[in-house]
Amino acid sequence: MHIFKGSNSPAVGRFLLIAATVLFALQTGIALSFADNQVRKAQATMLVLGVNAGPVDGIWGPRTQRGVWAFQEMAGLPVSGKLDAATISHLAARKHAVLTGEEPAESSAVQAGADSSGGAKTEEEPAVEKEAEIPVEKSATPKKAAEPEKAAAPAPVKAAETKPAPAPPAPVKAPASPPSAKQTAESSSATTVSGQLPAGFKITGKYEEGPVSDGGSISGLIKFIGNVPAPIMEDLSKGKNVEFCGGHPDAKDNIRPRVKVAVAGGKLQDAVVFIQNIEKGKAWAGEVINFDFKNCDIFPKVSVVRKTPKGVKTGLLTITNQDPDILHNPHGYSVAGANRKTLFNKPLPSKGSVADVTKNFKRFKPAKDKHFFLQCDQHNYMEADARIIWNPYYAISGADGSFIIDQIPAGKYWVTVWHPYIGQTSSEVVISGGAEKKMNFALALK
């Protein structure tokens, strides 16, 4: 063509070559690697949300793109694998909810409904008041761990201004034996309702074991409101040890669904229910908490961990490799917002290898450490989470959403429900000697 003729043809040719290269880069997403600030922010935000998007280095690559796919699936967005405006906006909203504890401006509060699971009243049963349904806290979070000092969990907007509401009266199943007058009075008192911890609420981290006489209990259900997020479809063929890892019981053609939020019949599994502010009570359980690395997966998915007491070096938490001839590399973190603090990094070269990481948990501090995250550096889709607790009053909801915490000394406490990929909500409760409290909670993921 005539535009290439003359003395300027080499310059024009170079210009067209550069233009074509830039156009190709824009179309394929390679040019995003130069927009390091935007990519870095997205990577950091996905890290907060528990989405594996690779290192926070501002470089657009396959791992970051897979992370964007996973987030888009989780957020219900069109799955394009691109950092488009909608994806960036949703990432910012979710991060804001995690860092501030406020409801994203575009979302509305989800109110928990009245519980209908109580047993029918019989002639022999005293009339007791139905448990309160705790307001929903909404957040699309693989949760960061800063809750108490923020005094807020994503709940109805400006939840701090919401006045506590008494629970509506309704019959529930009575205890097997007739309750005492004290128990009846306790059961019929209204539960204080809140969605957040009070301003200035702090955990000291102090706890003293001692005898508990005439202790009470808290039991109930954890409900999930809204659309259950689809599992992350992990392509195992892109990782290591494909032949073995592809044999996972849930995998088909090397694609394994990774369920982050397990819900059955509207009930949420693997929510950690715990009392925030008990400083004296029953003894800690003596069993070792163990994470099994098995079938290129980690079990349990959600657990609890605690700070290592003085003088203790082993026997609180172990990690075991159950896979033959497979190298696993458990890497433990304390997660706070966009920050990850490495607690340990231990190679487990073969089946039967055990890492006792008890001493690595001496560094926990009540004001900073709340969320423990475990991942395999060899197979980074292997993940598990745990809530860092400071007393033995906790439970993890079962497949039916149920939980129970017993041997609770009489007193006034704050009960919190936490899920690493949804959020948390809290409520105050008063326990009298021997009384059984019924409390249902609800969490929602936008």
For 99-133, b where at least 16 C-beta lie within 10 A, e where not — what string? eebbbbeebebbebeebebbeeeeeebeebbbbbb
Report if residue 335 sits inside a domain: yes
Per the CB < 8 A criterion, the answer to whether 236 and 380 are in contact is no
Q: Which of 182, 319, 295, 309 is nearest to 246 (CA)?
A: 295
Q: Which of 190-194, 360-364, 434-438 has the lowest mean pLDDT?
A: 190-194
Q: State residue 190 phi and psi, 5-degree precision.
A: -75, 145
For tokens 């390091």, the residue is 36
Decide if pLDDT at 128 tops 60: no
Residues 339 and 407 in one domain: no
Residues 364 and 416 in one domain: no
Report if residue 150 sits inside a domain: yes
Segment 375-405, tens digit of pLDDT: 999 999 999 999 999 999 999 999 999 999 9
Residues 128 and 197 in one domain: yes
Residues 138 and 212 in one domain: yes
Helix or strand holding residue 70 (H, E)? helix 62-75
Decide if pLDDT at 112 tops 60: no
Report if residue 340 sits inside a domain: yes
Segment 339-376, tens digit of pLDDT: 899 999 999 999 999 999 999 999 999 989 999 999 99
The region that residue 411 occupies, defined by phi over 0 for left and psi between -120 and 50 for alpha, beta otherwise, is left
How many domains does the chain fold into? 3
Segment 202-219, tens digit of pLDDT: 888 899 999 999 999 999
Residues 137 and 263 in one domain: yes
Q: Above pLDDT 90, what percent of the chain?
A: 51
Q: Which of 12-21, 132-141, 244-253 has the lowest mean pLDDT?
A: 132-141
> CA–CA separation, 345 vs 25, rounded Å?
37
Report if residue 105 sits inside a domain: no
Q: Which of 180, 260, 223 is nearest to 441 (CA)?
A: 223
Mean pLDDT of the chain: 77
Inter-CA distances, 249 with 244, 294, 350, Å: 11, 11, 20
For residue 144, what is the domain's CATH number?
A: 2.60.40.10
In this structure, the dihedral spanned by the alpha carbons of residues 364, 50, 159 and 369, taken in order and rounded to 10 degrees, is 0
- The bridge status of strand 267-268 relative to strand 289-294 is unpaired
Report if residue 238 sits inside a domain: no
pLDDT at 199: 81
Segment 96-111, tens digit of pLDDT: 765 554 444 433 333 3
Decide if pLDDT at 192 tops 60: no
Tokens (6 digits) for 160: 């701090």
Residues 49 and 148 in one domain: no
Report if residue 243 sits inside a domain: no
Decide if pLDDT at 13 tops 70: no
Structural domain that includes position 365: 284-386
Residues 143 and 270 in one domain: yes
pLDDT at 204: 87
Output 263 or 37, whichever has higher pLDDT. 263
